[in-house]
Chains A and B, each alone.
Chain A
Amino acid sequence: MDFWNAITLITNYILIPGLSYGCQLALGALGVTLIYTVLRFSNFAHGEFMSFGAMVSILLMWYFQSLGISVYPLPTIIIVLPISIIITISFCLLIDKFCYSFYRKNNSQSVILLIVSIGVMFFSNGLIRLIIGPDDRNINDGERFLLKAKTFKKMFELNEGLAIKMSQSLTIIITLILVTFVFWFLNKTKTGKSMRAYSDNKDLSLLSGINPEKVVLIVWIITGMLACVAGTLYGLDKSYKPFTYLNLVLPIFASAIVGGVGNPIGAIIGGFVIAFSEIIITFAYRRFLGYLIPENFLPETLMQVLSTDYKIAVSFLILVIVLIIKPTGIYKGKLI
């Protein structure tokens, strides 16, 4: 029984939260990677695009709530996603038109575009706080749990409970659908292949008659969609606070780089690597060990490698380790 308690504890506090956080990072990193491979710059504003998407979703959700529309037990925010995706894509395209396209046409170095993206990040952050305010908001109005810890305890007669939040299961399902779609699009459709061709060899793709403007349009459509969904799911899972998205940029970039810069599969893997490392390193193992070793051997401390305050630092740690050992990332990506 103690063994199963330990397993349940790990599943409840590491496996499931790691999976859903990993999904959120993977979606973000996939967006960053697409922009990097196609437009050749690191888009630091991506976190704010996610925040923007989440904000639009919340505004629409309030509107839907005021109309009395609800999809209980699912949270209302899920049904507004298609509309907020379209609005987020329009925002991305506007930003591209007024900020990025000028530098792209001048063939600016990618570092200049990176700095432009930092400007865009601060602008979007300000805009978002101006519209919705800086407060922390809980946006989950659906059923909170798919599986309650109490029910699980009764079912298996264990001390430890396993809880699966609605937001976590939605995150995992929606990520699966979206990632499958993106990979299908990139590998099977003519437009997706032309995007890969453009990012592989721009000059040759122009010789083959691939229209660069169309490629740019498509990459923003996909990025906007990914950002909106990732941002909304992150807000749904935790809570929505504009400032947290500023911090989210760091683990997202770490994921993209750890996985292999410019490699979409790498971005997904990187997302999970970073998510699980953050959680594994900041988890307190005392209770877990308590089930497995006799009480008098149990150490006094919490058995925690780093306090949760250092969560962000963990992604940097992993980043440094990967760059030292395998500079191209886990999946062979471009050297930066």
Chain B
Amino acid sequence: MFLNASKISCGYDKTKIVENCNIFLKKGQIASIVGPNGAGKSTAMKAIFGLLPLYEGNVFFNNENISKLKPQERVLKGMSFVPQTNNIFQSMTVEENLEMGGFIRKNGIKETINQVYDLFPILKDKKKQIAENLSGGQRQQLAFGRALMTKPNFLMLDEPSAGVSPIVMEDLFKKIIDISRQGVSILMVEQNAKQALKISDIGFVLNQGKNKFTDSGKNLLSNSEVRESFLGG
């Protein structure tokens, strides 16, 4: 397994939100965590990245136990995280955002910026613009771009389609596939479960902080129980 969060429990302060949960994926896969509101999807994701402490369980990345590492140290291991909100530097230009994304790197930033521009041509057109003035979809692309600046091999997306229109959402999902084609494994949390599962190699349905179903995206979509309870028929 490329990433294996085994039997993790976590939450805020002493309230356990996620209990005994397993999240895992192989190299190059797209995985999504879906489930109803309050199921602990984002909480599990934050714990995997180290933004929340684990009460129990371990996170293995590339067969290395990273449970005790700080988020910054996980970035150095090749993980990258796109938060749901406040995921760009609003007062800075698009290009400065990307530069800051690659802050820890010593050289080769220019090339990576150009790679990001190839992936998101709209950012190239707007590179001198202040990020605050971008549209919702463009902001999300910039947030992806910033996270890609560290040249991660594992990208985590927290609700990438939150607050954007259906058309933009479709476009974003296409971008996610593009990113994964470049050899980046992806784990995302999504409200729009159907669309997310469609492009996922593996899906995790969480309910009340526990694994409810774990299967390939296709199988989950065709599973009548999952459809009825979690995908709205």
Contact = CB atoms under 8 A, between A and B. Distances in A.
17 contacts: A194-B103, A196-B91, A197-B96, A197-B100, A206-B72, A207-B71, A207-B72, A208-B100, A208-B101, A208-B103, A208-B146, A208-B149, A209-B72, A209-B75, A209-B104, A209-B150, A210-B103
A32 B136 CA distance: 34
B75 A207 contact: yes
A12 interface: no
Contact of A200 (B75, B91, B99): B91
A210 B100 contact: yes
Interface residues of A, number: 15
Nearest to A187: B96
A205 B100 contact: yes
Contact of A190 (B83, B87, B89, B103): B103
What range describes how many residues of B lie at the interface? 20 to 34
Interface in B86-106: 86-92, 96, 99-104
B1 to A, nearest CB: 24
A296 interface: no
Contacts of A209: 72, 75-76, 103-104, 150
Interface of A: 190, 193-194, 196-197, 200-201, 203-210
Given A190-B103, A205-B89, A208-B102, 20 more contacts: A193-B100, A194-B103, A196-B91, A196-B92, A197-B89, A197-B92, A197-B96, A200-B90, A200-B91, A200-B92, A201-B86, A204-B83, A204-B146, A206-B71, A206-B72, A207-B75, A208-B75, A208-B103, A209-B150, A210-B100
Contacts, number: 59
Contacts of B81: 207
Which 9 A-B pairs rank lowest in CB-CB distance, beginning with the nearest?
A209-B104, A197-B100, A200-B89, A208-B103, A200-B91, A197-B89, A209-B103, A209-B72, A208-B100
A193 B101 contact: no
A208 B75 CA distance: 8
B35 to A, nearest CB: 25
Nearest to B91: A200
Interface string B57-90: 0000000000000011001100001010011111
A196 B100 CA distance: 10
Contacts of A194: 100, 103
Contacts of A206: 71-72
A193 B99 contact: yes
Contact of A201 (B89, B99, B103): B89
B50 to A, nearest CB: 10
Contacts of B72: 206-207, 209
A209 B70 CA distance: 11
Nearest to A202: B86
Contact of A203 (B75, B76, B83, B146): B83
Contacts of B150: 208-209
B200 to A, nearest CB: 24
Contacts of A208: 75, 100-104, 146, 149-150
A197 B101 CA distance: 10
A201 B104 contact: no
